[in-house]
Amino acid sequence: MERRTFLRLSAGAMTLAAARFLRAQETSGPRTLRQAAAPRNLLVGTAVGRGALGDPDMARLIGEQFNIVVSENDMKWAATQPEQGRYDFSHADQLVAFAESHDQRVRGHNLCWHADNPKWLEAALTPQNAATILEDHVRTVAGHYAERIHSWDVVNEAVNPDDGREDGLRKSIWLQMLGPDYLELAFRTAAEADPKARLTYNDYGLELDNSGDDRRRKALLKLLHRFRKKNIPLHAIGIQSHLSGSLVPPTWKGLNHFLNQVHDLGLEAYVTEMDVNDLELPADIPTRDRMIGNLYRSYLEDVLKHPAVKAVLTWGFTDRFSWLNGLQRQRPDHLPKRPLPFDADLHPKPAFDAMVEALTKG
Ligand code: XIL
């Protein structure tokens, strides 16, 4: 409303008009994460657990808020090849169809990992058959979704300097069967099966300024250089970003340096699984939510300054469902954790506001 018109209104009407004006001002900024991400062409997304799409309120929120989704478990080996040679895409197909009807991209997670594998796999693997089994799986799963996946986590969590190898690689079942070449096999096969997908290496423990994460970043950079030398198709690094709320004050020097190097190598970077574990934060909910929100803001404002960073996904969106309330250590007061941008009733929290601000800035 123009100021002159505004002044000419009668006293009673003015109150009403002023209220409307203020409300319009308040809502003129982005009201959803995907609106906040649009001007900078960023992707913002969430992991979606089985069952979420069956709840109309959760499905509506996912459709409204995000422009990319990833299945929390349904593209993992245990879900897609539950028995040797029998593939099952029924659950993941539902998510991909939902995404396509809501103008959303899809991340694929994941093709090769040491965890969430079906029992038969570890029983069946031998150094003789492992390459064929891996190749068959990657070709079939990536082939099934060819041209429909924004980025595939081709290999998940292959680095673990604590395992004591000089190259810093994890002594996973794949490494034991095939040696370090399993990575190359997985990436080359994925590139053949879906030449359009951005092939991603995804890992945790890359975020913090401490010696453990420092070693992990160094080992990963070595691996990336080896990939480049051998011309192995790789387009992006996934930084899981499972943060802990007890980080005070948070600093991201090592990560900044790492992201510069990733960019110099011509790679993109995605925040793939962000959440904040409030294991040790105070019980009081407004205090806790504020601290969690502040960590979201600090982290995202920092990483989103980097031109390499193109996507931010949280590992779930509502505190109603988070893996941190499952297998992980629970709070001593037994209160449920609050790691995500929406509370259990699907209301936005300070972490949501922090995401909107960080996505908008830049
Ligand atoms: C977790 C899921 O959230 C759980 O439901 C499942 O039981 C175990 O896996 N890093 C990853 C994800 O790459 O696949 C993990 O997801 C969380 C840690």
Query: CA quadruple 67, 72, 76, 79: dihedral positive or negative?
Result: negative
Contact 230, 197 (CB under 8 A): no
User: Does ligand 1 lie within 6 Å of residue 156's CB atom?
Assistant: yes
Reported pTM: 0.92
Nearby residues of 242 by Cβ (< 8 Å), 6 or more positions away: 204, 273, 274, 275, 277, 315
User: Does ligand 1 lie within 6 Å of residue 72's CB atom?
Assistant: yes
- The CA 47 to ligand 1 mean position distance, Å, reads 10
Selected catalytic residue, list 72, 157, 207, 268? 157
Residue range 181-228, pLDDT digits in tens: 999 999 999 999 999 999 999 999 999 999 999 999 999 999 999 999
- The CA 8 to ligand 1 mean position distance, Å, reads 60
Query: Considering only CA atoms, which of 85, 61, 41, 103 is closest in space to residue 360?
Result: 41
Lowest mean pLDDT among 17-26, 27-36, 63-72, 209-218: 17-26
| pLDDT-based confidence at residue 2 (cuts at 50, 70, 90) | very low
| pLDDT-based confidence at residue 354 (cuts at 50, 70, 90) | very high
User: Does ligand 1 lie within 6 Å of residue 117's CB atom?
Assistant: no
Atom of ligand 1 nearest to the CA of 202: 13
User: Does ligand 1 lie within 6 Å of residue 240's CB atom?
Assistant: yes
Number of helices and strands in the chain (H, E): 14, 9
Residue range 270-316, pLDDT digits in tens: 999 999 999 999 999 999 999 999 999 999 999 999 999 999 999 99
Q: Check if 157 is active-site.
A: yes
